[in-house]
Amino acid sequence: MRTGDGSPRVRSAVAGRSVPSSHRCCATRRLGGPVHLSYGLRLPTDVRHVPVVRHLATATLTELGVSPSSIDDIALAVTEACSNVVQHAGSGADFEVRVSVEGEWCRIEVVDGGGGFDPARAAAEVLAEGPSSDLTHGRGLGLMRILVDQLHFVPGESGTTVVLVKHLQLLPGSVLAAALRMGQDAREGA
């Protein structure tokens, strides 16, 4: 297992941002198996932290060789999820983001520290009232549903976890594509 400061692109994505040094990123690769990367952030609920999450996710996926279209989908979906937390969870609470990539799948969990969220009620309100006239509210849930393969809302005692799952399109020769080929070759050779 190797743990480190990350690539120059990942470091530059968070340069000058208020990400505590205590956050760790861990990438492991099992011999003959897929790359597994996971990291988590706990940040104050503040609109200034939404770009931190987005930039770190996109820089990580770029380094792994994920296609730009998959990266764009994830960037927009995670921005929507984090923006919803900032808007609805209330100030003073932290929010947490957990990102994991295994093989061709990315899973992002955005956990708010607010009073919870009822997606059915929110969808009903948007249907009844329509999106806001300034086009800034009422589109996020629909966008997230379109952008990812799975979208789940898990209520908890201290808030709601939004789970985004996306199948990744990989660039030829990428770290992930090579690891998947190695794993497949190892299984076929066994």
Written in H, E and C, the secondary structure of 29-69 is: ECCCCCEEEEEEEEEECCHHHHHHHHHHHHHHHHHHCECHH
Helix axes 68-88, 50-64, angle to 10 degrees: 160
Confidence of residue 118 (pLDDT cuts 50, 70, 90): low
How much is the mean pLDDT over the chain?
A: 78
Quick: pLDDT tens for 141-180. Answer: 889 999 999 999 998 887 889 999 999 999 998 988 888 8
Is the confidence at residue 21, as pLDDT, over 50? no
Percent of the residues in the chain that have a pLDDT greater than 70, as a whole number: 65
- Ranges of each domain in the chain: 2-16+36-189
Write down the architecture of domain 2-16+36-189 according to CATH: 2-Layer Sandwich (3.30)
Over 60: is that where the pLDDT of 50 sits? Answer: yes
- Cβ atoms of 142 and 130 closer than 8 Å: no
pTM of the entire structure? 0.74
**C-alpha span between 10 and 8 (Å, rounded):** 6
pLDDT band at 140; cut points 50, 70, 90: confident
Instruction: Determine if residue 152 is left, alpha or beta; phi over 0 gives left, psi from -120 to 50 gives alpha, anything else beta.
Output: beta
The torsion angles phi and psi of 31, rounded to 5 degrees, stand at -55, 120
Nearest partner of 89 among 57, 144, 50, judged by Cα: 50
C-alpha dist (Å) from residue 55 to 15, 34, 78, 79, 92 = 10, 24, 10, 10, 23
Q: Residue 136: pLDDT band by 50, 70, 90 thresholds?
A: low
Q: How far apart are CA 174 and CA 63, in angstroms?
A: 8
